[in-house]
Chain A
Amino acid sequence: MKILVAVKRVPDWQLKLKLLADGSGIQTDGVKWILNTFDEIAVEEAIRLKEKGVASEIVLVSIGPADMRARLEYALAMGADSAILVKHDGPVDSDLASRVIAEVFKRGSYGMILMGKQAIDSDSNQTAQLVAARLNLAQACFASKVVIEGPNALVTREIDGGLETIKIPMPCVVSTDLRLNEPRYAALPNLMKAKKKPFEELSLEALGVSPQLKLEVRRLSLPPVRKAGRKVADVAELISVLQNEAKVF
């Protein structure tokens, strides 16, 4: 079974973000790009399925500018087999990403599409579901366990209030949650070897996908800053302010 893993790059969440003065975007000069945390988990899961002998080949797909290649090479160094970069310099919304991934899926014979449940920049949590609906496939979102059983995938999902395990026919779309696995680090020698793995560049035009967006980000702003409160001297004072000032109990 071939697995298609969709990945995106995001600014490193450990660094503080700065807005452009006009609020039209974030400052990308000097931003350190990383693989989206949840997508990295998807890459790791695909590699584990391959190590178990369930998956035969892992193909990465991403949409973005040419320098996205470095992030794809990192995922190749983790253990993916080949990568497809759909080159696009403009903004991408969930709708456009889903149309690209669905189109790439149609060009291969994949048993599963894996991707993070959300990108930690736009936090939309839509792309996996959109792809599944476009292709009329079953979906299992927010996965914390994935087991392949014959023609079906058994996926445990993290839902409000508990865990639910569903059995869905393949091909299917699975979106990964934080608990699914702990991604490995790509070793340096593998990073060198990754540069020699098959790497295909495509354009939106070649895929027949329109760059038209449906969601336009008009302005970005920083949320109101919380002002630091005050220090209390001891437990008794803390109890007193919680009861009398904050009135929380």
Chain B
Amino acid sequence: MGKILVFIQHDQGRILKGSLVALTAARQLAAAWHCEGLVAVTLGPGAQVAANEASSYGFSTVRFSEAALFERYRAEPYSRAIALASKELGADCIVALASSTGKDCLPRVSVLLDAVQASEVVAVNSDGTLKRPMYAGNILADVQLAAGNRVVTIRGTAFAPATKEEGGSCEVQELHLAGDPELYEQPRFGEIVSYEQSKADRPELSDAAVVISGGRALGSAENFEKVIFPFADALGAAIGASRAAVDSGYAPNDWQVGQTGKVVAPSLYIAVGISGAIQHLAGMKDSKVIVAINKDPAAPIFEVADYGLVADLFVVVPELTVAIKNAKGA
């Protein structure tokens, strides 16, 4: 096998933790598939800073581009640039984080390179197959990718983030965009009209260290806000919800944790008033520590919870909120 190209995502030059997770997976792939080494590409404003930072992570070369057409992420130019970098650097495998960006543009890269893609990989098996969740994580599949070019996206919670390697930094060079004239057919790509950032005062649900989720037992949107919000804020947690709570209008759709919503794997997941339907368990059962608070001792959520508290949530959650504030303050 040739080289592995890692697509590194960054925020104004700061490499995303998830891209370092993808790098760990790429190192394991390089060993399992006997690849010739790792190279990287990074795009957009701050890409040069990110490339310099990446240069001490064991790559043989890093390419970057801060060209205007990468100013905001768009699928077409990004996928073309990644494919271009892989051809220029002799890579036959592309690895990236399965972020919304990775999910959106990597399949396009795989068409440009006539490759096969495995999505959301969670482990590299010693026989060269890859482990990935199906049916919202209810089943794990070992998949074999056909020979030829390969694209692999990595679940951001499945590997430890890579650390720097000894031996200093590698060469960092600007990506030559002239190799793909179609990159400049911008009207075809469309344009970004607006961007609305979620309220940033709480962590993002998909990569928060602590998630507090509320269920139908909350009874109303007002109760959800009154009970769950302060509890989450005391812990610096992201807020999730069961499908039942979302369907009842207690919480917005993008907070839904479960098979048809978001899959999360935080260090601590606290399920408040959630009975634990299969579809919800599928979205959170990989969390490190699970706590369930429910007044029904027979609720299925207790079958997966490390710690269960059988109690009226309206009594104990406010108590917990105060106790946590005190414990943290101490």
Contact = CB atoms under 8 A, between A and B. Distances in A.
Contact of B191 (A161, A166, A230): A166
A230 B111 contact: no
Contact of A223 (B137, B194, B316): B137
A228 B302 contact: yes
B160 interface: no
Nearest to B98: A125
A163 interface: yes
B96 to A, nearest CB: 13
Interface string B66-83: 000000001110010000
A161 B204 contact: yes
Interface string A212-249: 01111111111100101111101110110111001011
A238 B320 contact: yes
B219 to A, nearest CB: 21
Contacts of A125: 103, 107, 119-120
A56 interface: no
A165 B193 contact: yes
B319 interface: yes
B1 interface: no
B194 A138 contact: no
Given A121-B134, A161-B198, A133 B139 contact: no
A17 interface: yes
A249 B327 contact: yes
Contacts of B56: none
A216 B144 CA distance: 5
A217 B308 contact: no
A160 interface: yes
Contacts of B208: none
Contact of B307 (A214, A222, A246): A246
A179 B79 CA distance: 26
Contacts of B117: 94, 124, 126, 215
A58 interface: no
Interface stretch (B37-45, B46-54, B260-268): B260-268
A229 B308 contact: yes
Interface stretch (B87-95, B170-178, B222-230, B251-259): B251-259
A161 B288 CA distance: 23
Contacts of A236: 323
Interface in B185-220: 187-198, 200, 204, 206, 210
Contacts of B99: 160
Contact of B112 (A93, A133, A157, A238): A133
Contacts of A133: 79, 107-108, 110-112
A139 B108 CA distance: 10
Contacts of A238: 291, 307, 309, 320
How many B residues touch the partner, as a band? 35 or more
A163 B305 contact: no
Contacts of B165: none
B192 to A, nearest CB: 5
B10 interface: no
Interface in B234-249: 235
Given A162-B195, A169-B188, A126 B268 contact: no
A161 B108 contact: no
Interface string B300-325: 00111111111100001001100110
B279 interface: yes
Contact of A246 (B100, B259, B268, B309): B268
Interface string B262-299: 00000110000000011100000110111100000100
B240 to A, nearest CB: 14
B142 interface: yes
Interface string A153-175: 01001111111111111001000
A215 B108 contact: no
Given A231-B302, A248-B267, A243 B190 contact: no
B180 to A, nearest CB: 13
Contact of B135 (A121, A129, A136, A167): A121
B123 to A, nearest CB: 11
A57 interface: no
B159 to A, nearest CB: 16
Contacts of B191: 166-167
A142 B107 CA distance: 14
Interface in A183-225: 213-223
B193 A154 contact: yes
Contacts of A94: 107, 117
Interface of A: 11, 13-14, 16-17, 19, 26, 37-38, 93-95, 98, 120-127, 129-130, 132-134, 136, 138-142, 152, 154, 157-169, 172, 178-179, 213-223, 226, 228-232, 234-236, 238-239, 241-243, 246, 248-249
7 contacts: A13-B259, A38-B260, A139-B108, A218-B129, A231-B309, A234-B316, A238-B307
Given A179-B253, A239-B320, 15 more contacts: A14-B278, A120-B136, A123-B119, A123-B132, A123-B135, A139-B108, A160-B206, A163-B196, A163-B198, A214-B145, A216-B146, A220-B134, A220-B141, A220-B142, A238-B320
